[in-house]
Amino acid sequence: MSSTTQAHLPSLGEHQRDEVGHQLQAMLVELIDLSLFGKQLHWSVTGPLFRPLHEQLDELVDSWRELSDVVAERAVALGYFPDGQSATVSAGSNLDRLERGALEDHVVVRELTGRLADVAERARERMDRLGEIDAASQDVVIEVLRALEQQLWMIRAQFGHVGRG
């Protein structure tokens, strides 16, 4: 990177920039994988709640894609180039794999809330870590966390009764 380009980057040390970049990269990978997971659920849902879940999953996927763009753009603004390619996402995501095939609506809700809660928990850990390094990047992760926790609340509020014995 030229010294002219370097001079226009936010004033973080190289170690700090790398750490922030790695935290943002991990968040990006999970958001991309979450969007792919959401599409898989969207295509697989069956049962009486098919229509509201099918439509809500499209809204969630759109949100996760927008959030991933915000995260990636913050990384680039810091001089860190994120990788959202399929091989990177596959190798770096902590989301459990979903088997192909039809899934009853209560299973979709259970799988969605579990994975969404896991991603939100890791986002909270990243938020805490970034608070020690770069408040602007922390703010991006706070935005992600706020959206994920709101989505969890709405899913629980709408479908909390699904799958109870």
pLDDT of residue 150: 97
Distance CA 150, CA 16 (A): 30
Angle between helices 135-159 and 14-44 (to 10 degrees): 20
Weakly modelled stretches of the chain, pLDDT under 70? 1-11, 161-165
Task: State pTM to two decimals.
Answer: 0.89
* H helix and E strand count, the chain: 6, 2
pLDDT of residue 13: 72
pLDDT of residue 2: 41
In this structure, what CATH number is given to the domain that contains residue 22? 1.20.1260.10
- Asked whether residue 4 is assigned to any structural domain, the reply reads no
Kindly state the percentage of the chain with pLDDT values over 70: 90
pLDDT of residue 160: 72
pLDDT of residue 24: 98
- Asked whether residue 99 is assigned to any structural domain, the reply reads yes
- Asked whether residue 128 is assigned to any structural domain, the reply reads yes
Q: Strand (E) positions, the chain?
A: 45-46, 103-104
pLDDT of residue 4: 40
Q: Each residue of 43-79: pLDDT tens digit? A: 999 999 999 999 999 999 999 999 999 999 999 999 8
Domain count, the chain: 1
Q: For residue 57, give its domain range.
A: 12-159
- Asked whether residue 7 is assigned to any structural domain, the reply reads no
- Asked whether residue 124 is assigned to any structural domain, the reply reads yes
pLDDT of residue 159: 77
pLDDT of residue 9: 59
**Residue whose C-alpha is closest to residue 158's, from 102, 104, 113, 116:** 113
CA distances from 105 to 44, 53, 64, 85, 150 (A): 9, 8, 21, 30, 20
pLDDT of residue 28: 98
- Asked whether residue 2 is assigned to any structural domain, the reply reads no
- Asked whether residue 68 is assigned to any structural domain, the reply reads yes
pLDDT of residue 164: 42
Distance CA 16, CA 38 (A): 33
**Residue whose C-alpha is closest to residue 8's, from 76, 73, 65, 90:** 76
- Asked whether residue 82 is assigned to any structural domain, the reply reads yes
